[in-house]
Structure 1
Amino acid sequence: MRAPLPAAFLTLPIAHRAYHDVADGRPENSRAAVRAAVAAGYGIEIDLQLSRDGVAMVFHDETLERLTPHQGWLRDLTAAELGATALTGGDEGVPTFAEILSLVAGRVPLLVELKDQTLRMEDTDGKLEAATVAALQGYDGPVALMSFNPHCLAHLARLAPHIPRGITTSAYDAQDWAPLPPETCDRLRPIPDYDRVAASFISHEAADLARPRVAELADQGAAVLCWTIKSPQAESEARRIAQNITFEGYSAQIPSPPAA
């Protein structure tokens, strides 16, 4: 079952890791950044990792040191311990996915990236996928799930076929992706799993949007999003190919509704 991407994901610019600005007390993937995105009327992109006790947490990295004053693996801490771990540049701890769902409450589209739990793009144990789907039970609002790891998406297709899912895609430059093996980069680069996981969209690396495979998938009906746009000029360039953008570092313009 290929669940279509709701139109809302193609109309509102999507704030990368929510509408974050540490200078204003809004770290990435924080409640403050989510509140700011909702207030501005942007769509929201967030990332999920799994706590030691099996809770989906909104956090980008596998380790804590870039985003908190602490070191170590996120997966070694419980949800309660992570909730008490302050995000650098803010005054809040790491939020759970359920908390962010309550904050958004369906008011803007929510694009959710499940991070690769294997660190090798191999098959996962399905625990993050199951925790994500469980948190979404009863959620009323536009939501879509994506991952770089196609095995993750295969689990999601089984657990929640009704929720739109897409592949986060890249040029997969082997140097940029080290220590991921070059042969894995070579396999993923042509986006071979799109039909296997019944995806309905891709979110592609902006600098690589001209890749013929992107146009091929678009011709087959795939919605094309892109990451990560950091200026109005880059946005204008990306929109020649992509139907929508994921942005950070500036205030993207929200398109005016069509005249009646």
Structure 2
Amino acid sequence: MRSSPFAAPDGTLVAAPDPARVGFLTSHDFAHRGLWGGPVPENSLAAARAAIQGGFGIECDVRLSRDGTVMVFHDADTERLTGRADAIATMAAHDIQALRLGGGEEQVPTLAQLAGLIAGRVPLLIEIKTDTLAQTAPLCLAVRRVLEGYRGPVAVMGFNPEVSRWFLNHAPKMVRGLVMTEHRGSRGRALRDAIVRRLAVRRARPDFLAYDARLLPSALPAALRAKGLPVLSWTVRSEADRATVAAHADRPIFERPRSA
């Protein structure tokens, strides 16, 4: 039988990671951007404290300020969360931290502040947000520097397979993941998307997947999970989502209901 052009020499897309190395990924549910809601804003230190108190792992997003500081922030610009319309990448860290999240008292934390607060008490899952390929290496390097000497379970991930690839090449001991969704439509588009996703896995060589819960069950995460790759799933917001993830993945990346 002719081998797939997307398979590794042994017929698999990626090698299964050492279970001892990635076990923390399946030991906790992860609070998406911390345990936020009501007066507690997403990706804030208050949201992290609430997650720690609840015994949950913490998922966060990071971007790079103009002066090279890793900021814990999801969006490329600040308008939705602070009311001020500026791009994170064009602002110095002290200007970003002068803003307040959601009209309250919480400032935008740095990754160093968040890591210092968590201090290894619960697992930390860092999504690296890049809008251009040129942003990838500088942000990955800055994240690696922040985490040097960090004692605690931590992993990095991104939609861009170059994030995982960068850590494979420059910090191979770091647990690294690939965030994935699907673009379903016509048969032709679905086939192209399936090929692109397989190529992304081959390029990234991740230790785990973080897969869109809306699209489970799906063949690719099922196949990789069967080979030993942990599969987390985002964003879980309902009991139905939790049931789907329980059946087809290992742990949810969740938000509590908006009414909570």
Q: Same fold (TM over 0.5)?
A: yes
Q: Give 1 or 2 for the bigger CA radius of gyration.
A: 2
SS at match of 2:71: strand
- The residue identity in structure 1 corresponding to 2:22 is P
Preserved contact between residue 125 and residue 157 of structure 2 (Cα < 8 Å): yes
1:239 aligns with 2:259: no
Q: Once the 2 structures are TM-superposed, how far is the Cα of residue 98 of structure 1 from its aligned partner?
A: 0.3
Q: Which amino acid is the alignment partner of residue 60 of structure 1?
A: H
Structure 1 distance, partners of 2:136, 2:92, is 18
In the alignment, which of 79, 90, 93 is matched to residue 104 of structure 2?
90
Q: Give the conservation status (yes or no) of the 8 Å contact 2:22–2:207.
A: no
Q: CA deviation at 1:37?
A: 0.5
Aligned counterparts of 1:186 and 1:13: Cα–Cα separation in 2: 29
Query: How big is the shift at 1:160?
Result: 1.1
State how far apart, in whole Å, the 2-side matches of 1:55 and 1:188 are. Answer: 36
- Write out per-residue CA displacement over residues 19-74 of structure 1, whole angstroms, 9 at most, x where no aligned residue: 011x2x21000010001101111010000011000111000000111111200211
* CA distance in 2: counterparts of 1:9 and 1:107, whole angstroms: 14
Question: Which amino acid in the other structure matches residue 96 of structure 2?
Answer: L
Q: CA–CA distance in 2 between the matches of 1:72 and 1:186?
A: 33
**Alignment-derived partner of residue 70 in structure 2:** 56
| Alignment partners' CA distance in 2, 1:123 and 1:192 | 20
Residues in 1 aligned to 2:117 and 2:184: alpha-carbon distance in whole angstroms: 37
Q: Give 1:250 deviation, angstroms.
A: 3.9
Please show how residues 91-170 of structure 1 align to structure 2 within 5 Å: 91-118=105-132, 122=133, 124-170=135-181
Q: Which residue of 2 aligns with 1:12?
A: 28
Tell me the TM-score normalized by structure 1. Answer: 0.85
Distance across 1 between alignment mates of 2:239 and 2:194: 33
1:29 and 2:36 matched:
no
Whether the 8 Å contact between 2:129 and 2:158 is mirrored in structure 1 is yes
> Following the alignment from structure 1 to structure 2, what is the Cα–Cα distance between the partners of residues 106 and 63?
30
Matched-pair identity in %: 36
The answer to which structure has the higher helix fraction is 2
Separation in structure 1 between the aligned mates of residue 83 and residue 170 of structure 2, nearest angstrom? 36
Give the corresponding residue for 1:80. Answer: 94
Measured in 1, the distance between the counterparts of 2:257 and 2:196 equals 29
| 2:130–2:136 Cα contact (<8 Å) kept | no
Offset, 1:173:
5.1
- Unpaired runs of 5+ residues, structure 1, are 175-181, 252-260
- What is the CA distance between 1:2 and its match in structure 2? 7.5
When the two structures are superposed, what TM-score results if normalisation uses the length of structure 2? Answer: 0.85
In structure 1, what is the Cα distance between the partners aligned to 2:77 and 2:85? 7
Contact 2:61/2:129 (<8 A) preserved: yes
CA RMSD of aligned residues (A): 2.2
Q: Letter of the 2:59 partner, please give it.
A: E
The offset of 1:196, in angstroms, is 3.1
Deviation at 1:226, TM superposition (A): 0.3
Distance of aligned partners of 1:150 and 1:32 in 2 relative to their CA distance in 1, 3 Å threshold: same
Q: Which residue identity lines up with residue 199 of structure 1 in the other structure?
A: P
Following the alignment from structure 1 to structure 2, what is the Cα–Cα distance between the partners of residues 196 and 7? 23
CA contact (8 A) 1:44 1:108 kept: yes
Which segments of 5 or more consecutive residues in structure 2 lack a partner in the other structure? 1-14
- Residue 209 of structure 1, CA deviation: 1.8
Q: Hey, what's the Cα distance between the residues in 1 that align with 2:172 and 2:195?
A: 23
| Number of the residue aligned with 1:255 | none
